């Protein structure tokens, strides 16, 4: 059974550019969530996908968007990057539709915007 994997591990982008981060969910998990973690803070929920549909969103602007594919892998896209977007981006998966299930996280993607 493979765990949650994210790519790339590190990324440097220039302000105003666009970025795509990728996540492969754990085998058997059909729900994926994305979180942003600024340095020294707890992760903040961005949005969640269940069976290819967005079914929850945190307090993030529309330039943060996502996709989930039929194999339940997911992408996070951020347009018009700002310096404050520099953070660790975490992906979590769980067997969605089952309440109260455990979330499993990937190793994260460190995004630096310069």
Residues that bind another protein (CB under 8 A): 4, 6, 31-33, 35, 40-45, 48, 50, 55-56, 88, 90, 92-94, 96-108, 110
Q: Quick one: which of 109, 63, 37 has its CA closest to 45? A: 37
Nearer to another protein by Cβ, of 47 and 78: the residue is: 47
Q: Least CB distance from residue 10 to another protein, whole Å?
A: 10
Give me the half-sphere count of Cα atoms (radius 13 Å) on the Cβ side of residue 22: 6
Nearer to another protein by Cβ, of 7 and 79: the residue is: 7
Nearer to another protein by Cβ, of 18 and 101: the residue is: 101
Q: Least CB distance from residue 113 to another protein, whole Å?
A: 17
Q: Least CB distance from residue 80 to another protein, whole Å?
A: 25
Strand partners, 45: 35
CA–CA separation, 18 vs 8, rounded Å?
Answer: 14
Q: Least CB distance from residue 16 to another protein, whole Å?
A: 26
Phi, psi at 26, each rounded to 5°? -65, 145
CA–CA separation, 109 vs 35, rounded Å?
Answer: 11
């Amino acid at each position: 059974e493979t765990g949650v994997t994210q790519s790339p591990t590190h990324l440097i982008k220039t302000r105003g550019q666009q970025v795509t981060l990728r996540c492969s969910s754990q085998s058997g998990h059909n729900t994926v969530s994305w979180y942003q973690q600024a340095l020294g803070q707890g992760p903040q929920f961005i949005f969640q996908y269940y069976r290819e549909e967005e079914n929850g969103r945190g307090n993030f602007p529309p330039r943060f968007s996502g996709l989930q594919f039929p194999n339940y892998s997911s992408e996070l896209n951020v347009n018009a990057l700002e310096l404050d977007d520099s953070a660790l981006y975490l992906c979590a998966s769980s067997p969605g539709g089952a309440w109260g299930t455990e979330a499993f996280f990937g190793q994260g993607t460190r995004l630096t915007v310069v």
